[in-house]
Amino acid sequence: MRYHRQIIIPEIGKRGQDKLLGSKVLIVGAGGLGSIVAFYLASSGIGYIGIIDPDIVELSNLHRQILHNEEHIGMPKAISAFINLRKLNSDIKVLPYPDEISKKNVSQYFTHYDLVVACPDNFKTRVLLNEASFKFLKPLVIGAISEFEGQVFDIIPPKGPCYNCLFDEAQDDDIAKGILAPVAGVIGSIMAIETIKILLNLGDLLHGKMLLYDALKEKFREVKFLRNTSCKICK
Ligand SMILES: [Zn+2]
């Protein structure tokens, strides 16, 4: 009953729903993008969701990080996410990790999951996740948002291109930028869609191309990108 409206889609069906219920997805970052990704993956019936974030919920997070609420201010975001996802769907397993993903623990997380969704707020973590994606051969969905804009693309190892092909120099994105809250909703939703498509092998993926969204112009644009022949991460 819960997934009826999803099961009646011919491309998904009971078999697709069972596949989702048997899938393990790790969400890195329980912020603006992670909130949307986590809610939709939980409601869609991804059977096993890990959510990792080292931060605690602050008042200034709530305008875009809708996975949290006022009652959870001061609580680790991973725990807040666990509580609210359980309220939405108690049939699935949610594993909270109030931890920072790092070189030391990345293998332990990647080996346990089928796919990773990258929703961190910094360049360093995206680089780490990209490398791990190729090392452990796990698909990675990457998204980023800033002010009125957002971008999404998929990384499907062992075939490039990868994040390193695009951004081989450190990006200056560690400074907190403004974000129009619903832009996180648009980009996070597309990330959840890509995740489900990869798990079910459906449709065309954002592999080798990036989807760019401009909220002011209310336009989407697709930019193709090739593998950087000198990239040491992908093939
Ligand atoms: Zn590459």
Q: How do residues 34-55 score in pLDDT, each as one tens digit?
A: 999 999 999 999 999 999 999 9
- The domain ranges of the chain are 4-224
pLDDT in tens, 213-226: 999 999 999 999 99
Tell me the percentage of the chain whose pLDDT exceeds 70: 98
Proportion of the chain in helix, strand, coil states, percent, rounded to 5: 35, 20, 40
Residue 184 — very low, low, confident or very high, per pLDDT cuts 50/70/90?
very high
Q: What is the pLDDT of residue 167?
A: 85
Helix (H, G, I), strand (E, B) or coil at 36: helix
How many whole angstroms from 84 Cα to the centroid of ligand 1? 36
**Helix pair angle (32-44, 181-200), 10° resolution:** 40
How many whole angstroms from 231 Cα to the centroid of ligand 1? 5
Tell me the percentage of the chain whose pLDDT exceeds 90: 94
How many whole angstroms from 124 Cα to the centroid of ligand 1? 16
pLDDT in tens, 67-112: 999 999 999 999 999 999 999 999 999 999 999 999 999 999 999 9
Residue 235 — very low, low, confident or very high, per pLDDT cuts 50/70/90?
confident
Q: What is the pLDDT of residue 168?
A: 74
Q: Does the reported pTM lie above 0.85?
A: yes
The C-alpha atoms of residue 133 and residue 130 are separated, in whole angstroms, by 5
How many whole angstroms from 65 Cα to the centroid of ligand 1? 31
How many whole angstroms from 56 Cα to the centroid of ligand 1? 33
Choices 3.90.120.10, 3.40.50.720, 3.40.1000.10, 3.20.20.80: CATH for 4-224? 3.40.50.720
pLDDT in tens, 113-160: 999 999 998 999 999 999 999 999 999 999 999 999 999 999 999 999
Residue 172 — very low, low, confident or very high, per pLDDT cuts 50/70/90?
low
Residue 173 — very low, low, confident or very high, per pLDDT cuts 50/70/90?
low
Q: Which region among 88-92, 119-123, 171-175, 180-184 has the lowest average model confidence (pLDDT)?
A: 171-175
Q: What is the pLDDT of residue 170?
A: 72
The overall average pLDDT reported for the chain is: 96
How many whole angstroms from 12 Cα to the centroid of ligand 1? 32
> With 70 as the cut, is the pLDDT of residue 174 above it?
no
How many whole angstroms from 233 Cα to the centroid of ligand 1? 5
The C-alpha atoms of residue 153 and residue 232 are separated, in whole angstroms, by 19
